[in-house]
Structures are given as C-alpha cells and as structure tokens.
Amino acid sequence: MFKLNPLTIEQLKRFKSIKRGYYSFLILCFLILFSLLGELFVNNRALIVYYNKKFYFPTYTNMIPGTVFGLGYEYETNYRELQKIFKQDSQGNFVIMPLVPYDPFETDKLDGSYPPFPPSIEKKHYLGTDKTGRDVLARLLYGFRIAIFFSLLLLIFEYAIGITIGLLMGYLGGRFDLFFQRIIEIWNNIPFLYAIIIIASIVIPNFFSLLGIMIFFGWIGITWYVRTATYREREREYVLAAKVLGASTARIIISHILPNILSVIITFVPFTIAGGITALTALDYLGFGLAPPTPSWGQLLSEATEFHVKAPWIGISVISSLVVILTMVTFIGEAVREAFDPKMYTTYE
Amino acid sequence: MEKILKVKDLKVHFPVKGGVFKATKGFVYAVDGVSFDVYTGETLGIVGETGCGKTTLGRTIVSLYRPTEGEIIFKDKNLNKLNKRDLLELRKDFQMIFQDPFESLNSRHTVRYIIEEPFAIRAIGDSKWRKNKVLDLLDKVGLSRNVLDKFPHEFSGGQRQRIGIARAIALNPALIVCDEPVSALDVSIQSQILNLLMDLQKEFSITYIFISHDLTVVRHVSDRVAVMYLGRLVEIADADSIYSNPLHPYTMSLISAIPKVWGKAQEKRIILQGNIPSAVFRPSGCFFHPRCPYATDLCQREYPQLKNYGDENNIHMAACHYAKNDL
C-alpha cells in the first residue's frame, strides 16, 4: 500500500508554488523527453518517404540503400538529395524530412568554401556548422542527451553507493565508521582532474568507463551528508521503538531511517546533476572526456574558443545553452531546497 | 508471588571517549549495581531526578542497551545470554512505552503501518488478518477506526501516546516498561492515559515497570516504588509504606516536595541544595551526602548498603546509615 505522507504532499505543493523552480523543472523534463525523441526532429533520415505507392519510415529502421528508391548506389540513401529528385520528377512521390535534416556526425560539404558555415535558414543549418561542417544544432541536441543521461546515471550510481555507505557509517558507527572516514579523507585528497587526465592518457575512455571513473571519485560527496543525518536519526526514539519490537538492522535502516533522511538527499539531487554536466563538459573541453566524434558540449566549446572571431555562432549557441540549462537546474535545486526546508514545516507543533 | 523479572547487580557504564584515537577517558556510571525483583501482575514505580539513570535502567531491561555487568533474568531466562533468534522470540513478552509520543512514532509511517509492524517483523498473519488486528487494538486503546491511514502528526499528544500503547500491547506482552509515558502530556490527558494503562493491566494481566519523576503519578499507579539516585537504588518498598514512612532523606525530600491540596500547609519542607552530582565524577561515600541535611563523617567515607528495615511481610529496603534513626 502506497500513500504519500501529507508532509510530502505539503512539500510538493510548496515546490509547485515556487514558480521559477517548477517551470524550470517542467521545461527540463520536456527537453529531456525531446532529446530522447531527437531522431524525429534532428536527423538526416527522412520521417516519411512515399515512393511507388509505398510508405517508408526510415527514422528508426535499418539503413535503406539507395537502390530501393531507384538511386544508383548501395549505401544509405541521402534523403535530402532524394527529396530534390522527387520534386523534380513530380510523379507524386515525396519525402518529408525532419525539422533539421542533419545528423550530428555528418559533415556537410558545400562547394567552393570551407566550414564552419554561418547560420542559414535556407540551408537549414539554423545555428551554423562547426569546423568540420557538422550541424551545431544537431550536435547541441545530441550532446545534451549524452550529457544529461551521463549526469543522471552518475547521480544514480553515486547515490546508490554513497547512501548505502553513509547509512551504514552512521548507523553502525564504531570501527566501520572510522575506517570509511579515513578512506573518504584520503579519497578527497586525490586530485580528481589529474587522476582522470592520467587515466585518459592511458586508455581513451568511452561513455561507460568515464562514468565508472567519475563514480569512483564522486560517491564521497553525498556520503558525508547521509552519515551525519543518519547519526542524528538513529538516536531518536522511533528507532529505539523499532528495536524493542525486534526489527532487524536492515529493516530499521531501510524502512525507518531512510524515509526520514530522504529530504536531505533530494535537496542535493539537482546540484549533483548540474555538477555532472559541468564536469563532463569540462573534461570534453580539455579533450579528456568522451572520444570524438561523440557530440559533446565541451568539444563545441573548445571549437568556440578556437574560432571565436571567425565563427562566433558556435560559441554563442553552446554557451547560451549551457547557461540556460545550468540556470534551470539551479533554479530547480533552489526550489527543492526551499520546499524541503525542515525549518518551514517540522514534525513538531 | 511469582517473580517475572529479576535484576541482579546490574551495571551500565557508558565510556566517555575523547582525543584523536577515541581513547576511553572515563565512564558515566548511569546504572551502578541495581538489584530488584518484579512480581507478576504488579506495577513497580521507579522515581528519581533527571539523570539518575532510570531511563537507562528501563532501556537495559528491554535489551536496548547491553549491561556492563550483572544479569537480567526474565521468565527464568538470562536476557544477555540469549542468541538473536531467542531474543527476538522473547521480545514478544516485553515491550516499552516511550516518553515522547512525538518522537517515538516514525512520522513517515501511517498508523496502520506503525501498529502492524510487530506482526510484520515476525511475519505473523496476512494483510487482512493484520488489518483486523490493528482495528481491534485501536478499539482497545480508545481510538476510532478511521484513523488507519493517518500519520502521527495529525494527532494530539494523548492520541499519539495511545498509538504507542497499541503498538506495545500488540503482541500481548507480559511486561511493559513505561518510560515516563505521561510526562510529555497535559495534566488532563495524563489521567486518561494512566487509566487506560491500568485498564489494560487488568484486562491482560500485564506487569508494569513505571518510570517517572512525578511522585503523584507513581503513587497513583504503583504497588511498589523504587527510588533511584545517581545510578543506584536508595529505597524500595511498598508504595504506601514509602509514602507514609520514607526512610532515606532523599525520599523524604522528594515526598515533601509533592504539592499538598488538602490539610494544613507543610510544616517541614526539605529543600535540597545544588544539583544531582555528575555521574562521571561521583562523590565519595554516600552519593547523597553533599546535599543531605543529616550527613556526617561516616556518610562521607562509606557507601551505605541497601538493607531491609521493614519486616518479612513488608519489605522496606533503604540505603542510609541512619535509616533506623528517626530522622
């Protein structure tokens, strides 16, 4: 049986009433959803192809070779070309392309000039291209998708480890606590960035190995807070009451202490997400993050510094997206912190 | 009469730690050599000032704390020598009611969850059976049946304490340690809760250990009363005997502090000087001598043993060198 505690409902209501945070939350959710469906909006594969009285939906299917549409090549159909050809033929065949008909990996070569190309509505490079002719908007969107999911996964794993260890440290105390306190102090003093740079210079990290490295160094943050909160909770009488009833340690920790320290944890979530995005972007910027050609904001940023005079549109678009996203996450964080502030609504009357 | 609980020379010392390596720098002698018996069906009151160790004593009896020394024998079983499984089984038979009903109920759980937890822990019954049982218990403690899905903070202090009581009696325990169950409540609510406790005692023949600093409350509910001072018992006797004829000067001062409603004003009111001494650095000799109006050299040197000053039928133990003298 699941029923929300009226206290929790009260907190959610308060969160909703903080407009800035609430709308940021809605927009961010929308953006995440939008990025998940990114292939429908930003892609070089057509949404719908109508050819010889048959419909094709290439977006999520296997690659369709050009021969299928009567083109003279075996490799994947270039739908932008196909669209032009169908228009000229005017035999009732048509192609509907996504809003931005470019893939984040695809370089668009224009005759007679070198990339980066400036924004152009006519060519559908709404935010221009980067130095190899890849569409900036496409790279922004897919870069966002990678960054936000990287950040969310980082959050989940870091918190799973951090909360477990923190709870055990706080509840068991004694030697276990002492041991992990020292471990964390040592961990804290390892320069995180150097360590990653050293590791990245030996093996080029992919998405999951980078995630692993960052979890390895990142679980400490929440552990301290959880430990302290658990320390406070375990001395309270409801824990004693559970002990008298004969509750096991696992039961006390999971069903008694954890729900009571959740609000402490939730407060940190948005800030951890912002931290994850920033960290990944910074690493990519320095060239120690995800290997190219993975679309990433950090890598766009480094191009932006390289071409800040020749191609200011790269810098403008990536910096403004970074600022907007991080500001929204911070707004959410502030709203959550305010909504869950125990001083505003305590269990004491 | 049958003895349900025997406490033998119980000591609970908490180490005081400090420094980098958490070296033990001393001990808090919270409970230091307490012995008494509890008979089936009676109510034993334990009174004393804040910090005298009565809460620690109660919590040690229900195995929340490990005794440093001594034995607690409950139903002929030594609680400290049981393994986890047997202790869990035996825990059915002794429960605790806590002082602060605002603290002792987890604010994240519904009433239903709280009261059915004793069954859930032992995997007794299915969800439907448990629900009926919870409704039963709500009836018994005088709460209405529609509170099942409410949360503790939606109740008043007295109602919350009733929830705590329902949880404590859920498994039909033989012994309940009540740790100041009414001191956090309004006076008008206090009597309701006390009457509820006494009714339940009659109905289920529960034995109570009733810890309180409120002497009037203790007198109202207790058959026998034990007085604690700085981790030791200074006097233990029948309630009537202790209230009419206290032998220890500390007990006398406590009783003289009870406000009188009837009769003439107090002729002799003993007002104690100073505070209860530190349980880490205790006075020499009788712990009470720095505050005792009758203290002598002997009191400074020697701790008086707890002796029976009554007779066979009416045991009245006190720990004072001059208990026989009419102080």
Predicted confidence (pLDDT) per residue in A164-207, tens digit: 999 999 999 888 999 999 999 998 888 887 888 888 888 878 88
Residue B216 touches chain A, beta carbons under 8 Å = no
Give the per-residue pLDDT at B315. Answer: 86
Q: What tokens appear for A216 in the block? A: 């390895």
pLDDT averaged over every residue in chain A: 85
Residue A243 touches chain B, beta carbons under 8 Å = yes
Classify residue A131: in a domain, yes or no: no
Length of chain B counted residue by residue: 327
Pick the residue from chain B with its C-alpha nearest to A258.
B108
pLDDT band for position A2 (cuts 50, 70, 90): low
Buried b (16+ CB within 10 A) or exposed e, B267-304: eeebebeeebbebeeebebbbbbbbbeebeeebeeebb
How close is the nearest chain A Cα to the Cα of B126, in Å? 13
Which has more confidence, A276 or A293? A276
Helix and strand numbers, DSSP H then E, in chain B = 10, 12
Contact A79, A95 (CB under 8 A): yes
A154-168, A218-232, A329-343: least confident range: A329-343
Nearest to A244 among B96, B103, B106 (CB): B96
Strand partners, A250: none
A189-195 contact pairs (CB < 8 A, 24+): A190/A217, A192/A217
How many interface pairs between A and B have CB atoms less than 8 angstroms apart?
Answer: 75
Interface contact A3-B149, CB threshold 8 A = yes
Q: Which of B62, B104, B131, B167 to mutate to test the interface with A (most CBs of A within 10 A)?
A: B104
Please give the C-alpha separations between residue B78 and each of B29, B74, B86, B174, in angstroms, as whole numbers. 22, 6, 11, 16
Residue A260 touches chain B, beta carbons under 8 Å = yes
Q: What tokens appear for B320 in the block? A: 């004072």
Give the per-residue pLDDT at B184. Answer: 84
* Alpha helix positions (H), B205-303: 215-221, 239-244, 249-256, 297-301
Give the per-residue pLDDT at A328. Answer: 93
Classify residue A71: in a domain, yes or no: no
pLDDT band for position A72 (cuts 50, 70, 90): confident
Nearest to B104 among A3, A238, A260 (CB): A238
A347 contacts on B by Cβ (under 8 Å): 102, 107, 152-153
Strand partners, B226: B46, B236
Contact B9, B69 (CB under 8 A): yes
φ, ψ of residue A234 in degrees (nearest 5): -70, -20
Instruction: Domain count for chain A, please give it.
Output: 1
Classify residue A218: in a domain, yes or no: yes
What is the number of alpha carbons within 13 Å of residue A29 lying toward its C-beta? 7
What is the number of alpha carbons within 13 Å of residue B218 lying toward its C-beta? 27
Give the per-residue pLDDT at A31. Answer: 92
Which has more confidence, B22 or A147? A147
pLDDT band for position A22 (cuts 50, 70, 90): very high
Answer yes or no: is pLDDT of A88 > 90: no
Answer yes or no: is pLDDT of A121 > 50: yes
Give the per-residue pLDDT at A242. Answer: 92
Interface contact B100-A237, CB threshold 8 A = yes
How close is the nearest chain A Cα to the Cα of B100, in Å? 8
Interface contact B106-A256, CB threshold 8 A = yes
Residue A257 is part of a domain; what is its CATH number?
Answer: 1.10.3720.10
pLDDT under 70: residue ranges of chain B: 262-268, 326-327
Residue A256 touches chain B, beta carbons under 8 Å = yes
* Closest of A130, A109, A111, A110 to residue A119, by C-alpha: A130
What's the one-letter identity of residue B299?
A: C
Which has more confidence, A113 or B316? B316
pLDDT band for position A349 (cuts 50, 70, 90): very low
Q: What is the pLDDT of residues A89-105, one digit of tens each?
A: 777 788 888 888 888 88
φ, ψ of residue A182 in degrees (nearest 5): -65, -45
In this prediction, residues A51-77 reach a mean pLDDT of 80
Answer yes or no: is pLDDT of A213 > 60: yes
Give the per-residue pLDDT at B262. Answer: 67
How close is the nearest chain B Cα to the Cα of A231, in Å? 15
Contact A31, A41 (CB under 8 A): no
Task: Fill in the DSSP letter of residue A193.
Answer: H
Give the per-residue pLDDT at A348. Answer: 45
Classify residue A99: in a domain, yes or no: no
Interface contact B117-A240, CB threshold 8 A = no
3-class DSSP state of A131: coil
Residue B105 touches chain A, beta carbons under 8 Å = yes
Domain containing A149 equals: 6-37+138-339
Contact B98, B163 (CB under 8 A): no
Strand order of the sheet with strand B69-74? B23-39, B3-18, B69-74, B77-78
Q: What tokens appear for B26 in the block? A: 């001393």
Residue A246 touches chain B, beta carbons under 8 Å = yes
Contact B207, B42 (CB under 8 A): yes
Classify residue A47: in a domain, yes or no: no
Place of tokens 């020499």: B284
